[in-house]
Amino acid sequence: MYGLVPYNLSPIQQGIQFGHAVVEYGLRNQDESNDFLDWAKNDKTFIILNGGTTNDKQGSLGTLNTHLQTLRSMGIKVATFNEPDLGDQLTAVIFLVDERVWDEVKYPTPPPFTEGDIDGQTEDFYNWVDSIGGDNIWNLRVFLKQFKLA
């Protein structure tokens, strides 16, 4: 389970906000598929990433809020948590990540492909992207490269 949290919370608060969002994910997705249950039984790994700032004011959205929009536009199933004690600001965005995204040993990016825009690549690149599961896997892999651990 990967998650983005604001940079300006203490490490313990970042973990707590992440945990709140994990509960939300489990509650919202218990009937849709077994991905959460599979993760809960077999993995239980938390990857908590620095998502930057949080601000829901239109015209000056925080980076965490814009990352949420990006994930949704990519079709990634997410859960969020807004902390009542912080003015109901967004404090966590979490999502499950397929091993084809993070396991670059088992699913390495073959040279000479670079981690960037998928448009304008070679037919070999498109064949490789299809072999690892398609554009969503590749796009999420590229998206996650920008983050550091919280």
Q: pLDDT digit of tens for each residue in the chain (150 aa)? A: 999 999 999 999 999 999 999 999 999 877 666 889 889 999 999 999 999 999 999 899 999 999 999 999 999 999 999 999 999 999 999 999 999 999 989 988 876 666 655 666 678 788 888 888 888 888 899 899 999 999
* Rounded Cα–Cα distance for residues 76 and 68 (Å): 10
* Rounded Cα–Cα distance for residues 91 and 53 (Å): 9
| Domain coordinates in residue numbering, the chain | 2-96, 100-144
**Alpha-carbon distances of 43 from 35, 50, 61, rounded to whole Å:** 11, 21, 33
Size of the chain in residues: 150
pTM: 0.88
